[in-house]
Structure 1
């Protein structure tokens, strides 16, 4: 019912422009600390935490996931991930990504070292079983791709574009260690939210999952995901031209999966924004 590995692949979603190289002594520091509630069909099944720090054009992020509510009846799995990298011009350039989780009596592990838009080394477990139908992941597929956690950074080129269509109009090329897929975002609306950990504007993006490689096209789960209705809400993280996920919702066979901030602390913008 609740797959931590699958959720970890999707949480995420990202890019920045105009970031300047500055020395650490001069670099402005921004941070986000968030608690997220995870529900399916209205029932709470898990909770997660997000910690993101940006200093100058460098970033580091951590996320953890564990069952909660009725989710404890279906799984004892839990896991986490961490990532770091740089914002260079209009791109997020990851350097390290590590994910480890345990679910369905299996251990999942990914360790990616990246540089100059390429995967320099990779450890993944378990590996896919050989299948002639599976679309092979090649070097071309992983070139300039981003990991799922780095994809949580949503930069825009200019501050005035951060709460409008340009915050959404992008394609995110994501590689999770097993599969390469695109998340295509498009603008839906900008609105104000309150009472769920953040008081202020969010940009609502429609999202579509597009399989690229590593998948088997005939699998029903792949077909379902490719047509599933998805939505991502993003909020400013203190620097006006960088946004982070506030709410993610995805149609699943068991009902609507919703990941939503229940507490969000934003430092570096002159004030904290938090609630219950």
Structure 2
């Protein structure tokens, strides 16, 4: 269950969509605090750069607070792709995570929304109680980092119910799942540094497709969970929204990710290179 929560958080939980026109040219630098039941679990950072033809997204996270005294852990993730005909078209995704017990890495190469090459270490161990990932499950998907971008169509204010009108098909190298969003309300949010203003609140429904073990208690709990939400805030000067806050009710308290810094500006000058973003 916590793996699903943290994947959603570091992927920044939600989004990525097809739009009529991108109209995006901006940069976001954000820092987040992760907590469970009010106690700090970790810190995360996010960098997004997007224009009318391409995007780069990279993030990092690490365990802190009382959890760090028990177990160390940190990770990085990055994605890049094109914006074509008003659609996000992921091209590559990379993730590395290190803890006391193991090191994990995933590399995906995509073309036209489908996975053309992948490397997962350690590899997934075949199991009779695991739903196998079929070839069709790797097509028409977003990687978790690309799913951190929401491009809202039309000319009206992107901070509207349209931002939540979508179901995201996500493949992270091990699991294929859908996140179905639905509109809840508009809230006011404020970071310690940067953005202060309205955010669109979407409810999230988790729907596993393959790669999971249906009989696991954590999977069943997340499928029934009605208390998962994301707050989407704008990247200034664009029609792009990204998560400002996310919350998931768990059996031991509310797991939450919230921006402490959320700074956006026009994209000017040299963009981040794939190496800096941790991409293949």
SS at match of 1:141: helix
SS at match of 1:160: coil
Which residue does 2:202 correspond to in 1?
205
Q: CA deviation at 1:159?
A: 3.6
Correspondent of 1:19 among 8, 18, 21: 21
TM-score by length of 1: 0.89
Q: After superposition, where does 1:124-163 map in structure 2 within 5 Å?
A: 124-163=120-159
CA contact (8 A) 2:26 2:238 kept: no
Instruction: Give the Cα separation in 1 of the matches to 2:233 and 2:111.
Output: 28
Q: CA deviation at 1:89?
A: 3.3
CA contact (8 A) 2:36 2:255 kept: yes
1:189 aligns with 2:175: no
Unpaired runs of 5+ in structure 2? 269-280
Instruction: Give the Cα separation in 2 of the matches to 1:117 and 1:146.
Output: 7
Q: CA deviation at 1:242?
A: 1.1
CA contact (8 A) 1:2 1:71 kept: no
CA contact (8 A) 2:28 2:49 kept: yes
Q: After superposition, where does 1:40-51 map in structure 2 within 5 Å?
A: 40-51=36-47
Distance 1:55 1:195, change over 3 A: closer
Instruction: Give the Cα separation in 2 of the matches to 1:131 and 1:260.
Output: 36
- Measured against aligned partners, the alpha-carbon deviations of 1:199-243 in whole angstroms (never above 9, x if no partner) come to 111000000111011111111111011122200000011244210
Q: CA deviation at 1:168?
A: 0.4
SS at match of 2:264: strand
Unpaired runs of 5+ in structure 1? 21-26, 271-276
Q: Which has the higher contact order (CA 8 A, sep 6+)?
A: 2
Distance 1:116 1:195, change over 3 A: closer
CA contact (8 A) 2:245 2:257 kept: yes
- Measured against aligned partners, the alpha-carbon deviations of 1:161-184 in whole angstroms (never above 9, x if no partner) come to 511111101100000000000000
Distance 1:136 1:161, change over 3 A: farther
